[in-house]
């Protein structure tokens, strides 16, 4: 019997999706760990999200209290799901079979992931609707979040249009809620075009509905409504083999990224003693000056080696 997933029927930040009591059902030593100190623990139920679907795992702690009252708290370093669907929590101290524990998921990391992941659902739905661009993959990293779209090129105008439309849905604060449907019903939804794709596995499916926007067969963690995504900022695009990669940030990450970018801009403008908006023109002028100086130096060196002074006009024109 694999662990019950406590985050499945809750939104990402509800207490029941963050803190829980459970019992250790199995423990094994991680064979790949070279110093033999990494343990994998399974539980009868868990709120920890394992890595999957482009989304990283949760972090947090498992706490056991002995009969004598001694408290042992272990850090969860990694969470993975195996092929049988069992969730393994990686820890540095062993917790024996049948130990009762209290698990606590790091709420700020969970919130960040839920904001980026829910924002991705929204952005992908809008890209499809507004410009017909289908999402083929998603990556949520510590520094950047990207989707790859099956489209050759995206104009700046289209990017702004999609970003504005996605942010409108955020202000509309639409409900995001999971529900379970049988495989046959999910297939009927696929036929009707309500779902874009279905995972291969059999049995009941978790369908996440973003009210009025989309249905998505997804096992990830989501915020309770689009308002909690906070904001979406599209940063840049890049051509990749499968189409176009779009980098974006949501929620608190958008604020942090904007603040960091602005600090860099201010630093660069400060070095050149100009205001931020005059920075591109100032850099362009400096590059032109450097190019002209290099050309002039080349002429002077040539003249020095041949022993004849360069013509004044030549130096003058190089400086223009």
Residue with tokens 């850090």: 75
Specify the stretch interacting with Zn ion by CB under 5 A; choose among 144-152, 212-220, 230-238, 305-313: 212-220
| Shortest-Cβ-distance residue relative to Zn ion | 218
Start-to-end C-alpha separation, the chain:
78
* Spatial contact of 186 and 203, defined as CB atoms under 8 Å apart: no
Question: How far, in Å, CA of 25 to CA of 262, rounded?
Answer: 50
Residue 30's closest CA among 86, 85, 92?
Answer: 92
Cβ burial 154-189 (10 Å sphere, 16+ → b, else e):
beeebbeebbebbbebbeeebebebeebeeeebeeb
Between residues 101 and 220, which has the closer beta carbon with respect to Zn ion?
A: 220
CB 55, min distance to Zn ion, A: 8
Q: Give, in degrees to the nearest 5, the angle at Cα 154 between 149 and 158.
A: 110
Residues binding Zn ion: what is the number (CB under 5 A)? 2
Specify the stretch interacting with Zn ion by CB under 5 A; choose among 42-50, 102-110, 137-145, 211-219: 211-219
CB 190, min distance to Zn ion, A: 17
CB 208, min distance to Zn ion, A: 5
- Of 50, 60, 178, 220, the residue at the interface with Zn ion (CB under 5 A) is 220
State the CB neighbour count (10 A cutoff) for residue 152. Answer: 9
CB 211, min distance to Zn ion, A: 15
Specify the stretch interacting with Zn ion by CB under 5 A; choose among 60-68, 134-142, 214-222, 261-269: 214-222
Between residues 8 and 72, which has the closer beta carbon with respect to Zn ion?
A: 8
Between residues 122 and 149, which has the closer beta carbon with respect to Zn ion?
A: 122
Q: How far is CA 260 from the centre of its chain?
A: 17
Between residues 17 and 218, which has the closer beta carbon with respect to Zn ion?
A: 218
- Of 218, 223, 229, 232, the residue at the interface with Zn ion (CB under 5 A) is 218
DSSP state of 310: P
Q: Interface with Zn ion by CB under 5 A: which residues?
A: 218, 220
């Amino acid at each position: 019997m694999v662990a019950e997933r406590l985050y499945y029927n809750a939104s990402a930040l509800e207490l029941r999706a963050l803190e829980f009591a459970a019992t250790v059902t199995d423990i094994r030593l991680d064979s790949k760990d070279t110093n033999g100190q990494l343990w994998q623990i399974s539980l009868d139920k868990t709120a920890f999200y394992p890595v999957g679907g482009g989304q990283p795992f949760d972090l947090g702690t498992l706490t056991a209290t002995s009969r004598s009252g001694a408290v042992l708290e272990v850090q969860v370093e990694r969470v993975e799901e195996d092929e049988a669907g069992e969730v393994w929590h990686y820890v540095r101290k062993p917790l024996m079979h049948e130990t009762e524990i209290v698990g606590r998921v790091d709420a700020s990391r969970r919130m960040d992931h839920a904001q980026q992941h829910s924002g991705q659902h929204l952005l992908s739905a809008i890209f499809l609707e507004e410009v017909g661009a289908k999402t083929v993959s998603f990556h949520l990293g510590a520094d950047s979040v990207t989707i790859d779209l099956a489209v050759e090129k995206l104009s700046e105008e289209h990017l702004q249009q999609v970003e504005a439309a996605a942010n409108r849905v955020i202000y509309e604060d639409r409900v995001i809620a999971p529900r379970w449907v049988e495989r046959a019903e999910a297939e009927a939804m696929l036929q009707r075009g309500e779902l874009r794709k279905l995972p291969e596995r059999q049995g009941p499916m978790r369908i996440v509905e973003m009210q009025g926007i989309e249905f998505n067969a997804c096992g990830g963690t989501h915020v309770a409504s689009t308002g909690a995504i906070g904001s979406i900022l599209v940063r840049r695009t890049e051509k990749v083999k499968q189409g176009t990669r779009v980098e974006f940030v949501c929620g608190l990450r958008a604020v942090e990224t904007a603040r960091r970018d602005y600090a860099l801009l201010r630093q660069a403008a400060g070095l050149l003693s100009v205001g931020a908006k005059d920075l591109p023109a100032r850099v362009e002028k400096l590059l032109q000056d450097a190019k002209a100086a290099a050309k002039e130096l080349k002429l002077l060196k040539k003249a020095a080696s041949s022993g004849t002074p360069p013509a004044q006009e030549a130096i003058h024109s190089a400086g223009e």
